[in-house]
Chain A
Amino acid sequence: NAGVTQTPKFQVLKTGQSMTLQCAQDMNHEYMSWYRQDPGMGLRLIHYSVGAGITDQGEVPNGYNVSRSTTEDFPLRLLSAAPSQTSVYFCASSYRGEGNYGYTFGSGTRLTVV
């Protein structure tokens, strides 16, 4: 029972590089989302998806792309990394339901952009 799996756990990028953060869940959850966590700002929603083929923007979508080709996977792409994207990134999933489900979180990816 893996839950939500994020890879990599740590990454250092140079400004301007691109990369993809991977997220996979094995619980058949319809809903998946990406958050970034910064000190004193809590978690801010980047993008979310309510099912395969459907994605939408959250609070801070600029500089990030997502796609949802399968129920299990929800990768987050950084198109051209900037130092402002240094953060800890969490993927989360849940049943879609009527909102009364908590999220299951992945263990996070700590990204540093130099």
Chain B
Amino acid sequence: AQSVSQHNHHVILSEAASLELGCNYSYGGTVNLFWYVQYPGQHLQLLLKYFSGDPLVKGIKGFEAEFIKSKFSFNLRKPSVQWSDTAEYFCAVRDNNDMRFGAGTRLTVKP
């Protein structure tokens, strides 16, 4: 089964700063890639997903992610973060029947 690595455990940014969160998965083949967000005290919500086509995927709330097949990466980006983006972000890979998650990156945005 796939494994997922998220490089940053905790990221602290000021409002309006740009964001990039790293995500790598373990091996190639046909995979479906996701980013989820978990706001404090809530369940996971889907931010965006990739399964084919344009490797640059746009999601909700101004987030986007780029799939780079040669690097097994699916990094999440946002040009200008807001205080309300404070949350935990999870990268996930779906391979056949199960979805595997990274350990998560906690994002704190200072006003």
Query: Known interface pairs A42-B90, A42-B102. Does A99 touch B43 (Cβ–Cβ under 8 Å)?
Result: no
Does A75 sit at the interface, judged by CB under 8 A?
no
**Cα distance A11–B91 when bound, in Å?**
28
Give the total of A residues in contact with B, Cβ under 8 Å: 24
Residues in B whose Cβ lies below 8 Å from that of A45: 98-100
Residue in B1, B97, B104 with the greatest tally of chain A CB atoms within 10 Å = B97
When distances are taken between beta carbons in the complex, the residues of chain B under 8 Å from A99 are 30-32, 51, 94-97
List 13 extra interface pairs beyond A45-B98, A99-B96, CB under 8 A.
A31-B97, A40-B104, A42-B101, A42-B104, A43-B90, A45-B99, A56-B97, A58-B98, A92-B44, A99-B30, A100-B32, A105-B43, A107-B42
List residues of chain B with CB under 8 Å of any chain A CB: 1, 4, 6, 9, 30-32, 34, 36, 42-46, 49, 51-52, 90, 94-104
